[in-house]
Amino acid sequence: MGYKLTVLGLGAGDFEQLPLGVYRQLKAADYLFLRTKEHPVVNELVKEGISFQSFDEVYESNERFEDVYQQIVDTLLEKVKESPITYAVPGHPLVAEKTVKMLLEKAALGDFEVHIEGGQSFFDAMFTALEIDPVEGFQFLDGTDLHERDLQVNQHLIIGQVYDCFIASEVKLTLMERLPDDYEVVIVTAAGSREQQMKRVPLYELDHEMELSNLTSVYVPPVKDETLLYGEFQSLREVIAVLRSPNGCPWDREQTHENLKKYLVEETYEVLDAIDSGDDDLLIEELGDVLLQVMLHAQIGEDDGYFTIKDVIRAITEKMIRRHPHVFANVSVNSSEEVVKNWEEIKRTEKPEQEKSILDGIPKELPSLYRAYELQKKAAKVGFDWQEVEPMWAKVKEEMAEFQTEVASENKNELQKEFGDIVFALVNIARFYKIDPEEGLRSTNLKFYNRFRFIEDSVKQKGLDIKSMSLEELDAIWEEAKKYTI
């Protein structure tokens, strides 16, 4: 027969609220362990002559809660081998009790039994004290393991196990990622007992007001101001759905995947301009415009019954995990080059029959300079590439000679093709020196733009007409512009 460990809940309030059955078991226990003696019931247990051993010193001797919980569980597992024991915890054993969860996991694998016996959780006391109805939407989170991604700020939010100022500080910083610094929260201590205390404070003062107590929780009222929810992904999704609805915007309703293509291209290039400008606020705006395009396409897919934004997110999440086995699995890499190699190998296994040529998969709509670069990169992977730069320069000279020949023939169609050959050959040289040709030309375009603007401003300041000036005069200002612009 296996060993027996009984877990009792001490409830959320005073001794008078302790269920009679739990009291009898506490009194009858041969070996009673308390997770903590910091509870309204414990003083009365002492008066009743009930002896126990608490684990409060374990909290003092460990810096991490994970170590505290593990030591408590290890001790209980050793003791239960000697005799049946009783373990009492605040509130209900299955509400925010990590040690109980760990014991149940161990019991499923071992040769001892865990029996859960009653205990009122502090939820009823909290709901009563705060006068809230959880049916409106309620979330309970652990203050010792709080993550921004878990917060549902449009619901009633109770954060338990806010034991001290350090945890309160972490809770505050996490909440500030989603809420204003002065958002009002409520500190609730010993809910449901005669020692119950409630204090309303602005969020930024949360850790200033906390005292060491295992009976302290933080209540965050649901956000009612719609503008505070604008940063929530669901809010964006709902806005796009409304715009596409019968009562929404006529223009948005008319859009299709096909006629939105040009906007996605335009918005993408505006992101590139924002990056070049170094303006973070502008970059935020332009990235938002790209996201808008993604959301519109996803909403069209949902309206047509083919896919939703969840399918888009699921697909890219699965792909990122699948193509990063060095992060999410047991593959080892020593360089970014190995990462790229693994990526390409995994990509080939994902789409084994879709590509008839090694050059397939490069979008035809890419800017021609980028596409030339990508075509050459793919061909180079199977050895179709020069290893030295000299033949590349020779190819440039060869193409320039052919271009000059066509200039003499005045065949515009062939002239255009030969010019393209020159650019294609120069892309080879850019690859050899690990230069992005598109970025190189972008920087030159920007440089030309800035310098020509300098000419325009200089001419305007002198009260002259730029159209009436000679090339020599403009070139002189150009040389001046080179000193002041990039």
Is pLDDT above 60 for 355?
A: no
pLDDT (0 to 100) of residue 421:
94
- 157: helix, coil or strand? strand
Is pLDDT above 70 for 411?
A: yes
- List the beta strands (DSSP E) in 79-163: 85-89, 112-117, 138-142, 156-160
- Find the mean pLDDT for residues 265-271: 92
Burial class of residue 45 (count of CB atoms within 10 Å of its CB; 0-12, 13-18, 19+): buried
More confident position, 293 or 364:
293
Is pLDDT above 60 for 1?
A: no
pLDDT (0 to 100) of residue 395:
93
- Contact assessment for residue 377 and residue 431, using Cβ atoms and an 8 Å cutoff: yes
Is pLDDT above 90 for 171?
A: yes
pLDDT (0 to 100) of residue 387:
92
- Contact assessment for residue 142 and residue 96, using Cβ atoms and an 8 Å cutoff: yes
Whole-number Å distance between alpha carbons of 119 and 105 = 20
Q: What are the distances in angstroms from CA 205 to CA 168, 198, 320, 370?
A: 10, 15, 40, 53
**Six token digits for residue 423:** 């650019």
pLDDT (0 to 100) of residue 352:
62
Is pLDDT above 60 for 364?
A: yes
Length of the chain: 486
Compute how many other C-beta atoms are within 10 angstroms of the C-beta atom of residue 57: 9
pLDDT (0 to 100) of residue 133:
93
Q: pTM of the entire structure?
A: 0.68
The letter for the amino acid at 75 is T
Strand 156-160 to 138-142 pairing: parallel
At 211, the pLDDT band (50, 70, 90 cuts) reads low
Is pLDDT above 90 for 256?
A: yes
Whole-number Å distance between alpha carbons of 36 and 42 = 9
Backbone angles phi, psi at 117, to 5 degrees: -125, 105
Closest by CA to 6, choosing from 91, 93, 85, is 85
At 120, the pLDDT band (50, 70, 90 cuts) reads confident
Whole-number Å distance between alpha carbons of 404 and 397 = 11
Quote the DSSP letter at residue 244.
Answer: T
At 408, the pLDDT band (50, 70, 90 cuts) reads confident
More confident position, 223 or 358:
223
Whole-number Å distance between alpha carbons of 245 and 253 = 7
CA-based radius of gyration for the chain = 35
At 99, the pLDDT band (50, 70, 90 cuts) reads very high
Q: What percent of the chain has pLDDT over 70?
A: 98
- Contact assessment for residue 237 and residue 295, using Cβ atoms and an 8 Å cutoff: yes
Is pLDDT above 90 for 367?
A: no
pLDDT (0 to 100) of residue 354:
59
Q: Give, for 47, the enclosing helix (H) or strand (E).
A: helix 42-47
Closest by CA to 214, choosing from 56, 436, 376, is 56
More confident position, 244 or 21:
244
The letter for the amino acid at 81 is K
Whole-number Å distance between alpha carbons of 475 and 460 = 16
* Of 124-138, 196-210, 349-363, 449-463, the least confident: 349-363
Is pLDDT above 50 for 279?
A: yes
Round the average pLDDT of the chain to a whole number and report it: 90
- Terminal Cα-to-Cα distance of the chain (whole angstroms): 83
- Find the mean pLDDT for residues 135-164: 92
Is pLDDT above 80 for 226?
A: yes
Q: What percent of the chain has pLDDT over 90?
A: 60
Q: What pairs with residue 199 in β-bridges? A: 187
* Of 12-21, 248-257, 314-323, 369-378, the least confident: 12-21
Compute how many other C-beta atoms are within 10 angstroms of the C-beta atom of residue 190: 23
- Contact assessment for residue 31 and residue 85, using Cβ atoms and an 8 Å cutoff: yes
At 2, the pLDDT band (50, 70, 90 cuts) reads low
At 121, the pLDDT band (50, 70, 90 cuts) reads confident
Closest by CA to 418, choosing from 403, 408, 397, 398, is 403
Compute how many other C-beta atoms are within 10 angstroms of the C-beta atom of residue 33: 21
**Six token digits for residue 401:** 């000679």
Which tens digit of pLDDT belongs to each residue from 42-55? 888 899 899 999 99
